[in-house]
């Protein structure tokens, strides 16, 4: 076999391995990423989406955050304008990013499960970086 053919064989093995690992990785760790409206329509179509680990992206409803430090629990609501859910996060407050606030419609990604009672039990809350809400700032500029 020519060395370049040998190399081609070796390279194909590596490329195939990378492809397989990517495929395998997505199969075993991928998570659905839905908006509240999509989640509602999916659970109506297919009840397996209830109590199934997934991520929901929405905005924090203004003024809805209730922090209960005593019980390590934060209650809030998320909405995409059409559908909204109450969310319960249980865990240390220090794991929640500083940018998590209900002051100005921030985007939030919650990871967890939607219970049968319609409450989303979050295991992780990710809020977007607060420094760059330029559209909001521009609105304020126009208002002032």
Partner 1 sequence: MTLLGNFALWAALLLALWTAAMAFFTDWQRRPMLAVAVTRGVYAICAALLVATVALWRGIFSHDFNIEYVWAYTSRNLPSYYLVSAFWAGQKGSLLFWAVILSLFAALAQALTSTRHKHLLPYVAGVTSLVVAFFVSVMLFGHGNPFERMAVTPPDGKGLNPQLQNPGMVMHPPLLYLGYISITIPYAFAIAALMARSLDTGWIVAMRKWALASWLFLSIGITLGMWWAYVELGWGGVWAWDPVENAPLMAWLTLTAFLHSVMIQEKRGMLKRWNVSLMIGTFLLSIFGTFITRSGVISSVHSFTQSDIGYFFLALLLVSGVVSFTLLYTRWPMLVAEVQLESLLSRESAFLFNNLALVGIAFAVLWGTLFPIISEAVRGTKITVGPPFFNQVNIPLGLFLLLLTGIGPLIAWRKASTANLQRQFIVPLVCATITVVGLVILGLHDFYPLVALGLSGFVIGTVGQEFYRGIRARMTLHDEGMAIAVLHLVERNRRRYGGYIVHIGIVIYFVAFTGLAFQEKKDFDLAPGATETIRSPFGHTYLLKHMGVSQYTRLNRQVTAAALGVSVNGKSLGTMTSETRQYIDSFGNPTFEPSHEVVIRSTLQEDLYVVYGGSPDGTERARFTVIVNPLVAWFWIGGGVLIVGGLITMWPGGPQLRTQRRRAAPQAGYSVPLAGVAE
Residue with tokens 């499960």: 113
The answer to whether the beta carbons of residues 48 and 32 sit under 8 Å apart is no
Q: Which of residues 43-102 bind partner 1 (CB under 8 A)?
A: 55, 57, 69-70, 72, 91-95, 97-101
Q: What is the rounded distance in angstroms from the CA atom of residue 142 to the CA atom of residue 144?
A: 6
Binding flag, residue 123, partner 1 (CB under 8 A): no
Residue nearer to partner 1 on the CB measure, 23 or 118: 23
Q: Is 37 helix (H, G, I), strand (E, B) or coil?
A: helix
> 99 and 77 in contact (C-beta within 8 Å)?
no
**CB of residue 79 to partner 1, shortest distance in Å:** 17
**Locate tokens 């999916």: which residue?**
42
By the rule CB under 8 A, 115 interacts with partner 1:
no
Q: Which of 112, 98, 103 is nearest to 59 (CA)?
A: 103
132 binds partner 1 (CB under 8 A): yes
Binding site for partner 1 (CB under 8 A): 3-4, 6-7, 10-11, 14-15, 18, 21-22, 24-26, 28-34, 38, 42, 55, 57, 69-70, 72, 91-95, 97-101, 103, 107, 109, 126-135, 137, 141, 144
């Amino acid at each position: 076999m020519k060395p370049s053919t040998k190399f081609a064989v070796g390279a194909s093995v590596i490329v195939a391995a990378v492809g397989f690992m990517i495929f395998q990785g997505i199969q075993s760790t991928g998570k659905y990423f839905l908006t509240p409206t999509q989640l509602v329509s999916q659970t109506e179509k297919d009840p397996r989406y209830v109590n199934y680990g997934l991520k929901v992206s929405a905005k924090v409803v203004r003024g809805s955050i209730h922090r209960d430090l005593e019980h390590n629990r934060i209650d809030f609501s998320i909405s995409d304008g059409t559908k909204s859910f109450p969310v319960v996060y249980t865990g240390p407050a220090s794991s929640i990013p500083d940018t998590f606030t209900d002051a100005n419609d921030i985007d939030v990604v919650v990871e967890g499960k939607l219970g049968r009672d319609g409450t989303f039990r979050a295991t992780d809350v990710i809020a977007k970086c607060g420094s760059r809400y330029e559209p909001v700032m521009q609105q304020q500029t126009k208002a002032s």
